[in-house]
Amino acid sequence: MHWLYLFIAMALLLAASKASGWLVVVLVLASLVGFIAWMLGWVSTRISSGARNDTQIISPEEMRRLREQAEARKAAAQSNPGNPGSEPPP
Rounded CA-CA distance 12/33 in Å is 10
User: Which residues, 6+ apart, have CB-to-CB distance to 78 below 8 Å?
Assistant: none
Helix spans in 1-90 (H)? 2-18, 22-50, 60-79
Q: Is 84 helix (H, G, I), strand (E, B) or coil?
A: helix
pLDDT digits (tens, 9 = 90+) for 6-59: 999 999 999 999 998 999 999 999 999 999 999 999 999 998 887 777 777 888
Say what the pTM is: 0.57
Written as one letter, the residue type at 81 is: P
